[in-house]
Amino acid sequence: MSEKPAGYREIFAVREYRHLFAANLLSLIGDQLTAVALSFLVFQRSGSALLAALAFAGANLTWVVGGPLLAVLADRLPRRRVLVGCDLIRAALVLLMLVPGLPVPLLVGIAFTANLCRPPFQSARSSLLPDILAGDRYPVANGLDNIVAEVTQVAGFALGGLLVTTGSAQLVLAADAATFLVSAALIGTGLRRCAAANQTAPEPSGSWWAETTAGVRVVFADRALRSYLLLFWLSCLVYGTEGVVAPLAEEYGGGARTGGLLLAMMPAGVAIGGVLLTRFCPPDTRRRLMLPLAVLTGAVLLPIAAHPPLPAVLVLLFISGVAGAFSIPLNALFGRAVPAAYRARAFGVAMSGLCAVQGLAMLGAGAAAERVRPTLVVGGAALLATLAVLTVVTTAVGVFAPARLPRPEPAAA
C-alpha cells in the first residue's frame, strides 16, 4: 500500500521548521525588495545600466564566485550560529547603504558583500532540514519552500517597484534591514544549539581549501550524487529562454508586457507543479514520475522552434515549469544521500553549478539569437536539455531504478 504524502499541517507542527520557514520568507522578501530598490538607486545616481544590472544580479553572482568556498562555514561552525550571524551581517551592511552620499561603486560593493552571506545562509538552512523533518515531511517542505520562493520572486519585484515609486529606495532598504533582524531573532529563539557538523567527519579539518575540495570530492566521487546533480543542472538548460525574452516578445509583435508574461509562465508552472507533486502524489508515485518529468521539462518546448501562436508558447512554457517541479523530490534524494558532515558544502556545490549553468545558457541563447530567430533558439535549447537529460538517465540507469532510490525514513512520533 502506497504511503500517503505528508500534509502542511504536519510540517508546521515542527517548531524548528516554523521558525526557519518564517525567517526564510522574511529574508526572501527583503532580498527581492533590495534588488529592485538598489538597481533603481544606482541607476538614478550613476545613469549606468551596467552598474544597475550588476547591483541587481549580485545575488546570483555570489553563488558562482563564493558558493562552495563560503558554504564551508555551514559545516565548520554550528549551523544555528551561521544563520544568525549571516542575518546580522546583512542587516548591518544594508543599514550602511543608507548613509547619504555614498559613491555608487561603493554601494554596489557593499551590496555584493551582503549577498556573499547568501551561500552560507542557504547552505546551512538546507542542511538542517533533513535533520529536523522526518519521513515525507522533508520533500513536502522542499516543495513548499520552492513554491514560496517562486511566488516571493514575482510578488517581491512587483512590491519593490511599487514601494520605490510611491516612497523611496532608502525606505525599502530600511525595511530590508528589519527583515534580517527579525529573521535572526526567529532563528535564535526557535532553533536548538548544536555542534559544528564537521566534528562528525571521518577526516580531521584541514585548510579552508582542503575542506572545500573535500565537499566537491564527496559529491562527484559518489555515482548517485553525481547523477542527481547532473540531472538537475542539465535540465536547467531550458532557462536559456530567459536570455532571449526581449527578442522573443518582439518576434511576436509584443513589448514589455508580453515579455513579462513569457517570464512568468515557467515560475508559475513550477509553483503549481510543486503543489501537485508534494500534496497530491504519494511518495512512491512522486519517485516514479521524477525521470519522465525531467525529460518533459525540455521536450515539451521543442514545438516552439516551429513558431506556434503566442498562446501556445505560453502554455508550453507553463507545462515545462510544471514538469520542472521534478527537482523537488530530486532535491530530497540528494539531501538525504549526502553525509551530514558535508551537507552544506554539497548544497553549495549544487547551487553554484546551477547558477553557472543558467547563466551560461542565457548567454549562449542571447548570442545565438543574434543570428537566428528567438523561437528557433528556444527550440534548440530545449533539444539540448532533452538530449543531456536522456544521456544522464541512460548512463546512470541503475542509480534511478526504483529499487535503488532511497526511501524516506519513518515519520518521527
DSSP string for 239-294? GGGGGGHHHHHHHTT--HHHHHHHHHHHHHHHHHHHHHHHHHS-HHHHHHHHHHHH
Asked if the structure places residue 248 within a domain, the reply is: yes
Among candidate residues 254, 295, 266, the one with its CA nearest the CA of residue 146 = 266
In this predicted structure, the answer to whether residue 257 has a pLDDT above a threshold of 60 is: yes
365 within 8 A of 240, measured Cβ to Cβ: yes
Amino acid at 15: R
* 76 and 15 inside one domain: yes
Asked if the structure places residue 406 within a domain, the reply is: no
Choose the final residue of a domain: 158, 190, 222. Answer: 190
Amino acid at 206: G
Residues shown for the chain: 413
Confidence of residue 167 (pLDDT cuts 50, 70, 90): low
Asked if the structure places residue 271 within a domain, the reply is: yes
Asked if the structure places residue 141 within a domain, the reply is: yes
Among candidate residues 262, 294, 261, the one with its CA nearest the CA of residue 277 = 294
Asked if the structure places residue 199 within a domain, the reply is: no
Three cell numbers written together for 401:
531504478
Choose the final residue of a domain: 190, 222, 249. Answer: 190
318 within 8 A of 266, measured Cβ to Cβ: yes
pLDDT (tens digit per residue) in 137-160 = 888 887 788 778 777 766 665 566
Residue 182: per-residue pLDDT: 93
* 125 and 235 inside one domain: no
CATH code: domain of residue 15: 1.20.1250.20
Q: Give the whole-angstrom CA distance, residue 138 versus residue 142.
A: 6
C-alpha of 203 from chain center: 30
Three cell numbers written together for 105:
561603486
Residue 271: per-residue pLDDT: 81
Asked if the structure places residue 4 within a domain, the reply is: no
Confidence of residue 242 (pLDDT cuts 50, 70, 90): confident
Angle at 370 between CA 320 and CA 318, to 5 degrees: 10
Q: Give the whole-angstrom CA distance, residue 385 versus residue 381.
A: 6
pLDDT (tens digit per residue) in 119-135 = 888 888 888 888 888 87
Q: Which residue has the cell 507553463?
A: 318
* 34 and 153 inside one domain: yes
Q: Total domain count for the chain?
A: 2
* 325 and 386 inside one domain: yes
* 250 and 173 inside one domain: no
Residue 413: per-residue pLDDT: 33
* 222 and 94 inside one domain: no
Q: Give the whole-angstrom CA distance, residue 68 versus residue 86.
A: 16
For the chain, report the end-to-end CA distance as a whole number of angstroms: 21
SS3 384: helix
Q: Give the whole-angstrom CA distance, residue 206 versus residue 57.
A: 33
Three cell numbers written together for 102:
555614498
* 163 and 266 inside one domain: no
- Which residue has better confidence, 163 or 385? 385
Q: Whole-model pTM above 0.75?
A: no
Confidence of residue 299 (pLDDT cuts 50, 70, 90): very high
Instruction: Calculate Rg over the CA atoms of the chain.
Output: 21
Q: Give the whole-angstrom CA distance, residue 299 versus residue 325.
A: 15
Residue 293: per-residue pLDDT: 93
Q: Give the whole-angstrom CA distance, residue 339 versus residue 138.
A: 16
Asked if the structure places residue 407 within a domain, the reply is: no
* 228 and 329 inside one domain: yes
* 311 and 367 inside one domain: yes
pLDDT (tens digit per residue) in 183-194 = 999 998 888 766
Residue 409: per-residue pLDDT: 52
Q: Give the whole-angstrom CA distance, residue 191 versus residue 173.
A: 27
Q: Give the whole-angstrom CA distance, residue 68 versus residue 66.
A: 6
Q: Give the whole-angstrom CA distance, residue 278 versus residue 263.
A: 24
Residue 57: per-residue pLDDT: 59
Between 90-104, 155-169, 284-298, the lowest mean confidence (pLDDT) is in 155-169
pLDDT (tens digit per residue) in 211-239 = 667 767 877 888 888 888 899 899 988 88
Asked if the structure places residue 3 within a domain, the reply is: no
pLDDT (tens digit per residue) in 386-400 = 999 999 888 876 666
* 235 and 150 inside one domain: no
Query: What domain range includes position 271?
Result: 214-401
In this predicted structure, the answer to whether residue 323 has a pLDDT above a threshold of 90 is: yes
* 150 and 243 inside one domain: no
Own/partner long-range contacts of 254-261 (Cβ < 8 Å, ≥24 apart) = 254/310, 258/310, 261/314
* 53 and 148 inside one domain: yes
Among candidate residues 330, 333, 344, 296, the one with its CA nearest the CA of residue 316 = 296
80 within 8 A of 183, measured Cβ to Cβ: no
Distance set, CA 401 to CA 52, 217, 220 (Å):
47, 24, 20
